[in-house]
Amino acid sequence: MPPDPPDSEQLVLAFLAEAGDEFVSGEAISDKLGLTRAAVWKHVEALRAHGYRVEAVPARGYRLAAVPDRLTALELRPLLDTHDLGQVLHSYEELGSTNDRARELAEEGAAHGEVVIAETQTAGRGRRGRAWISPPHRNLYFSAVLRPELPPSRAAELTLVASLAVCDALRSAGVAAGIKWPNDVLAGGRKIAGILTELAAEPEKVDWVVIGVGVNVNARAEDFPEELRGEATSVAIERGLPAPRALLAAACLGRLEAWLDAHAERGFAPIRDAWRERSVTLGREVLVRTDGRELAGRAEDIDDLGALLVRTPERVERILAGDVQLLRPR
Ligand code: BTN
C-alpha cells in the first residue's frame, strides 16, 4: 500500500474539528479521506501524542474534546476558513517582533497572505515607537504580509480594515469590543488589541504591507507593567474565562480576509460604514496629540480616506495620524 500523504494527520484533525462536538465514525473518516481504519487510528494516536484530547467511543467513533493551547500550523490550519491568509504560516516559539520577520519575508518575496505568528516577542513594537508587552503563551502576536493593488495614498485604509476584523473576532468570542481611532481595539474602556501597519511602496503602487496584530487573550493583570494596568485588558479579564487562542487567531484571520475582500471589491465605503458602527470615538470629546501639538474638540466623523475630523472651537481639523484620548464619558 502506498504511504499516507504527509498531511493525513492534519486532514484527520480537520475532519474532527469540523464535526465540532459531534462524534464521527472511524468509517466515515476513512471513507472520506481514503485511509484505512488502521491508518485513522494511527493518526488519532499521533494527535493525542501532540496534546489533542480525542475521545473514542465504540459504535459512535471519535470526538475532538480539547485542542492544545499552541499556535503552530497543526492547530491553526484545520480551523482556518481562508483562501489566502495563514495558508502559509511561519510559527515561532520566540521572535524579536513578528512584524520584523514578516517584513524580511516580504522583502524576500513572500506571497500575499503569508502569516508570521509567535508565542512571545522580545522586542514587540507598538505604534509611535512604543513597546508591545508580549508575555509567552498567553496572547496573540501575528503579522500578515499583504500585496494589495493600491496606491500608497490609500494604504492607511488597511489599518482600519484590520481593526474591524479584530473587533469582530473579539465580539464573536463574547467580548464587547469597540474601536478607538485609528485602530485601537478597546473593551470596557481599556485596550485589548493593537495593530501596527508597515509598508514599502513605489510612487504609484504599494509593494507590500505588513499588518501586525497583538491581542491580549489570556494575559492576567499581573502580566502588564503596573503603569499599564488601568489601561490594558484581555479577553480572559473581560470574560472571566480563558479563551482558546487558536480559535481566536483563526477568527481574526478569517474576518481580516473577509474585510480585505470587501475593501478590494467595493472600496473604502463599506469599511467606513462598518468602522463608524463599531467606533467608540465618534461623538466624543477628545484630546488629540498630533505632529507635536495637542488639540481638543469633538470627534465628528472619519473622511473618505480614514482621517479623523475633529471640531474645535475654531474649525474642523483633519487628523491623519495621532493619538486620541477620550475625554468625557458619553
Ligand atoms: C499599537 O497599538 O501600538 C500597536 C501594537 C501592535 C502589536 C503587534 S504584536 C504583533 C506585531 N509585532 C509587533 O512587534 N507589533 C505587532
Residue in this structure with the C-alpha cell 478569517, named with its chain if needed? 254
Integer CA distances (angstroms), 260 to 59, 265, 303, in order? 44, 9, 19
Element spanning 288, H or E: strand 285-290
Residue 253 forms part of a structural domain: yes
Are the C-beta atoms of 287 and 327 separated by less than 8 Å? yes
Q: How much is the pLDDT for 254?
A: 96
Q: Which atom of ligand 1 is nearest to the CA of 118?
A: 10
Residue 214 Cβ contacting ligand 1 at under 6 Å: yes
Residue 130 Cβ contacting ligand 1 at under 6 Å: yes
Cα 125 to ligand 1 centroid, rounded to whole Å: 5
Cα 102 to ligand 1 centroid, rounded to whole Å: 12
Q: Are residues 129 and 258 in the same domain?
A: yes
Q: How much is the pLDDT for 187?
A: 97
| Among 119, 213, 323, residue to substitute to test ligand 1 (most atoms within 8 Å of Cβ) | 213
Q: Are residues 50 and 107 in the same domain?
A: no
Residue 25 forms part of a structural domain: yes
- Boundary of a domain, candidates 49, 66, 83: 66
* The three grid cell numbers given for residue 38, joined into one nine-digit string: 488502521
Q: Which atom of ligand 1 is nearest to the CA of 128?
A: 3
Parent domain of 238: 73-278
Residue 131 is classified by DSSP as: B
Describe the strand order of the beta sheet including 308-311 as a list of residue ranges. Answer: 316-319, 308-311, 293-302, 285-290, 323-326
Q: Whose CA is nearest to atom 2 of ligand 1?
A: 194
Residue 301 CA to residue 292 CA, distance in Å, equals: 22
Q: How much is the pLDDT for 146?
A: 98
Q: Are residues 244 and 190 in the same domain?
A: yes
Q: How much is the pLDDT for 248?
A: 92
Q: Are residues 189 and 297 in the same domain?
A: no
Residue 97 Cβ contacting ligand 1 at under 6 Å: yes
Count of domains forming the chain: 3
Could you state, in chain order, the average pLDDT of each consecutive group of 10 residues for the chain (330 residues)?
A: 58 83 92 94 92 92 88 87 96 98 98 98 94 96 97 92 97 94 94 97 95 97 92 95 89 97 97 96 95 93 94 94 83
Q: How much is the pLDDT for 329?
A: 62
Cβ neighbours of residue 108 closer than 8 Å, sequence gap 6 or more = none
Q: How much is the pLDDT for 7?
A: 74
Residue 2 forms part of a structural domain: no
Residue 151 CA to residue 149 CA, distance in Å, equals: 7
Which residues in 241-263 are b (16+ Cβ under 10 Å) and which e?
eebbbbbbbbbbbbbbbbbbebb
Residue 148 Cβ contacting ligand 1 at under 6 Å: no
Residue 166 Cβ contacting ligand 1 at under 6 Å: no
Cα 87 to ligand 1 centroid, rounded to whole Å: 21
Residue 212 Cβ contacting ligand 1 at under 6 Å: yes
